[in-house]
Amino acid sequence: MSRSEAGETGAGSGGPGRRGDRGHHVPRGAVTADHGLVIIDKPAGLTSHDVVARTRRLAATKKVGHAGTLDPMATGVLVLGVGRATRLLTYLVGADKEYTATIRLGESTLTDDAEGEVTATPGALLRAEGEEMVAGSHPFLTLEALYEAVAALSGPIEQVPSAVSAIKVGGQRSYARVRAGEDVELSARPVTIHRFEVLGEPRPSEHEGAAVLDLDVIVGCSSGTYIRALARDLGAALGTGGHLTALRRTRVGPYAIGSAHTLAELAEAVGAGADEDPPRGLPVTGLADAISALFPVRRLTDRETATVSFGKSLDPSGPGTQSGSSEPAESGAQPGSGEPADSGAQPEAFDTPTIDDPATIVAALAPDGRAIALLRDEERFGEMRARPVLVFDPA
């Protein structure tokens, strides 16, 4: 079961497929989609690759990629790039993310989520304040201890990824080694948990003869965080087991669940657009809106537009030429409207492994609003210049 990030990517069901949200027909686009981003609300039961394959059919192009995978059991925001927008995905892979999840305390699994076989059932019971301990086989937990454990797993932490993950060990995926019966020990990695909040009261229940507690939580985290590992570590901190039973990604960088569309909605839009004259393709968030949501904006003059189109540098952008909001985007291209997202939102701080630090990148737009390039201020030979790191429409 291959997974890469935050409980992500697993060996899933389905091939390229021509069905939408597990049953809807996926039509082939009548025309190739414009360059841009598509924000998908991934359904359970599909791999991220399944979603990409279906979107390639809707977009009538093979040039579609995604920015960070989700397990088949997980749902929620999956950001896809179409055409030239695939070059933007490297910046979104490292974006902060937010999830809602359900953690089950009192039971451990091989994969640290509900898809793996149960490996231990120490159980968990909630003890009310002032209630006496009762002898039994299940650990007793208090709300105070729970909140203390959650607080200890917040902020900058060192996290050991789940052994059943896509991390390579000696050139082989960790999950493959686990499947082969090996004991795999991965090294801890620094991640940041910006938000770890328990929603409501823990819900007691019984599973396979063991008393368990289910917690609904919200997690905001840096790139590379495994939510499954967070569930595992919370259980361990409380002296019992823990694993993930549900996961929904609600935000990737500036793109929140409110801007996401289901495959069925997109399939309907593509089918309806095929009957128009001229035919209308898959609705996307255009390049200009996409880079404006990801980075501060620099408006170029006609002369600067021509200069950058040839890959040449400009006077430095500097903080005075940058603008933008810090709120996550909640709007997106509406299926059937053909309109791009109207969002000037900026993402929160990124933690990305790419060589181009997004905090130093500026989106360059032409006077007519077209996306021209991404610029970065650099000092060379004692002179500061704004140099293009990515030109979307070279001369």
Which residues carry out catalysis? 71
With beta carbons less than 8 A apart as the criterion, state whether 194 and 96 touch.
yes
With beta carbons less than 8 A apart as the criterion, state whether 259 and 104 touch.
no
Paired with 204 in beta bridges are 213
- Residue spans of alpha helices (H) in the chain: 48-59, 89-93, 143-152, 174-179, 227-237, 263-273, 287-294, 302-309
Alpha carbons within 13 A on the beta-carbon side of 95: 30
**Look-up: residue for tokens 């304040």?**
129
Residue type, 204: P
Question: For residue 373, what are its two tokens?
Answer: 């390039």
With beta carbons less than 8 A apart as the criterion, state whether 370 and 380 touch.
no
Cα Rg, the chain, nearest whole Å: 23
Residue type, 74: A
Whether cis (ω within 30° of 0) applies to the bond prior to 202 is no
Question: For residue 201, what are its two tokens?
Answer: 């009261």
